[in-house]
Every structure is written in structure tokens, then in C-alpha cells.
Amino acid sequence: MKKCPRCGLTFADDNRYCTSCGSPLEDVVEQVAEPSEPTPEEEDVARPQSETSEQASDEKPEPDKEPDLGQKAADMADDLSEALGELGAAAKKVVEKIGDKAREGYEKIKDDETFNKYSGKAKEGFEKVMDTPDSTSDYDPADVENNKVIALFAYLGILFIVPLIAGKDSRYARFHTNQGIILFIFSFLITTLSALPTVGRAFALCHVLVVIFVILGIINAVTGKARELPLIGKFRILG
């Protein structure tokens, strides 16, 4: 086979000139490319599937590492502790700020004549309400001492029945039983009125008074005092 060195066309061996450009033809020597060594990738592709499968089966997968639950719990505890610390610091700043504002407001009005006038009247009215008759001296000290525990049940709701029965022969127990019955009726009225749709909220605030009266009554009973409750203590049911 011959080839034109100018235009690259090939011709049979018996042609001497190119029919396109007229250039003399040259003999072409066919070169057989030597086979190159296969790359590792090509070896993997050419390798039989059975051999690849055997190697894959020989390789054992690494076991998954178990999570360190203790460390995770410790990290979560640290994060929670840090968050609570930040929350506490923020709450402290808010409280301090509110306290500063309250003190600042009080400093502005404490010298005001109107404020002092009405605050003085409120204090005077509160002291007058809390200054109830104390008839402890009218009772036998032995009776008072022996019935202190029974008397305190008079201020625990329906449990006023305990001193009513167990202390029926004690003047001191009967005094506190009378107070407890009046307080129970007052509490029942407050609860009923609080359920009203219109004025219920106003009467709901009176539950605070009930709690205060309960505390005062128990203190009076266990300290051996026959002292009337504020506002409601003057009423009598038991003679």
C-alpha cells in the first residue's frame, strides 16, 4: 500500500503518483502496536467475578463503634448546667433591675404628702382590723394547755367537727370551734360568689383572706390565745 505524502490519500501498490495532487507516492509500512501492560484498574475489571467475590468475602467489615452513652450524657449535663447558669444570671439581672426601679419609684414618692397621708391611713386601718379582742385571761390555763392541739383542728375546714365533739367540755376548744365554723361558712360563701360570671373575680381575691384567717386561727390556737379573728371573729354560733 502506498500513501500520498501531501494529501494523505492511500493507493494500491501499482500506483506511482497521486491522482489528486500528482505527488509521487511512498510505500507505507504498517506498524503493529506492542501490547501495553494493563493498569491496576483494568486488571480489576478483567479479573473474574468469582475471584473478586472471594476477596470481598475474605474482607470482614469493621464493627461499628458503639456510641459512648456516658460521655454523651455528661456532655448534655454540661450543656444543661451552662444553660441554667445563663438563665439564672439573666433572671438575677431582671430582678435587680425591677428592684432598682421599685426603689427609685419609692424614693420619688416617699416624701410626697399625699402618699404619706394615705399610706398612714392604710397602716392605721390595717392595725385597727388586726387588733381584735383577746379574752385569753377568761379561760382556765389548764383547759387551754390541755386542748391546744384539739383546738387547731377547728381551722381545717370540715375538721372543726373534731373539737366540736372531742372538746365539747372545754371552753377553750369551744371558743376556737366557734371561730372555725364561722370561717368555714365564710369560705363557703366566698367560693359560691366566686363562681358568679360577673363579680366572681372580685370575690375570688377574698380567698387570700381565708388563707390569712386560717393561719391566724391556728397560731392563736397552738399558742394558747383566745383571740378573735379579724372581721368575722365577733360572730357567735356556739354559746
Q: What predicted TM-score, i.e. pTM, was given to this entire model?
A: 0.50
5 near 26, Cβ under 8 Å? yes
pLDDT attached to residue 131: 84
Q: For residues 77 and 39, give the distance between their C-alpha atoms in angstroms, rounded to a whole number.
A: 55
Looking at residue 116, its amino acid is N
Q: What is the H or E stretch that residue 164 is in?
A: helix 161-166
- Quick check: is 207 in a domain? yes
Quick: pLDDT tens for 109-144: 766 666 666 677 777 777 777 889 999 999 999 999
pLDDT attached to residue 33: 45
- Quick check: is 178 in a domain? yes
Q: For residues 45 and 194, give the distance between their C-alpha atoms in angstroms, rounded to a whole number.
A: 88
Residues 19, 87 within the same domain: no
Domain, as residue range, for 96: 76-130
Quick: pLDDT tens for 5-57: 887 788 777 777 777 777 787 776 554 445 556 666 555 555 555 454 555 45
Residues 163, 217 within the same domain: yes
List the grid coordinates of 59. Answer: 474482607
Quick: pLDDT tens for 152-195: 999 999 999 999 999 999 999 999 999 999 999 999 999 999 88
Residues 173, 217 within the same domain: yes
Total count of domains within the chain: 3
Question: DSSP label at 134?
Answer: B
Residue ending a domain, choose from 115, 130, 145 = 130
- Quick check: is 193 in a domain? yes
pLDDT attached to residue 137: 94
Greater pLDDT, 230 or 124 = 230
Q: Which residues have C-beta within 8 Å of that of residue 213, sequence separation ≥ 6? A: 155, 183, 186, 229, 230, 232
Mean predicted confidence (pLDDT) in 206-225: 94
- Quick check: is 12 in a domain? yes
Q: Is it the case that residue 60 has pLDDT exceeding 60?
A: no
Greater pLDDT, 61 or 153 = 153
Q: Which residues have C-beta within 8 Å of that of residue 55, sequence separation ≥ 6? A: none
For residue 137, count other CB atoms closer than 10 A to its CB: 7
Q: Burial of 213 by CB count in 10 Å (0-12 exposed, 13-18 middle, 19+ buried)?
A: buried
